[in-house]
Amino acid sequence: MPMNERAPMANDLTTGTLFKMGLVTNDEVNAAVTAVLTGEGSIGFPLNAAYTIDLAAALQAKEAVSKGLAVPDASAAYNRNLARTAILLGYPNKR
């Protein structure tokens, strides 16, 4: 686990869980994905008024995502799906 990512606890919610609960919208997840793909992501990327996420930690936590994003001839759709998966599996922080 990367040093800058905290270990999940039993009551921690992933971005995907928050999405299913309606606490994070599709547009907010898409904005995070775009930030990853354009290199504009940050440690405290604001998902919305209530949550932030460390995009670098979310990507590093999933080795397959890090390797996949490094493939030079990968399609844009492939990269978007990798980034989205990492974000949905990541652990956001409540503000």
Structure confidence by residue, pLDDT tens digits, 29-49: 999 999 999 988 778 899 999
- Does residue 86 lie within any of the structural domains? yes
Q: Which helix (H) or strand (E) holds 32?
A: helix 26-38
Domain that holds residue 72: 15-94
- Does residue 45 lie within any of the structural domains? yes
- Does residue 9 lie within any of the structural domains? no
Q: Look up the pTM and report it.
A: 0.83
- Does residue 7 lie within any of the structural domains? no
Alpha carbons within 13 A on the beta-carbon side of 17 = 10
Name which of 3-17, 31-45, 50-64, 66-80 the model is least confident about: 3-17
Are 65 and 85 contacting, i.e. CB atoms less than 8 angstroms apart?
yes
Domain count of the chain?
A: 1
- Does residue 8 lie within any of the structural domains? no
CA distance 52 to 55: 9
- Does residue 3 lie within any of the structural domains? no
Range among 38-42, 50-54, 67-71 with highest mean pLDDT value = 50-54
Question: Taking residues 82-93, what's their average pLDDT?
Answer: 94
Cβ neighbour number for residue 32 with a 10 Å cutoff: 26
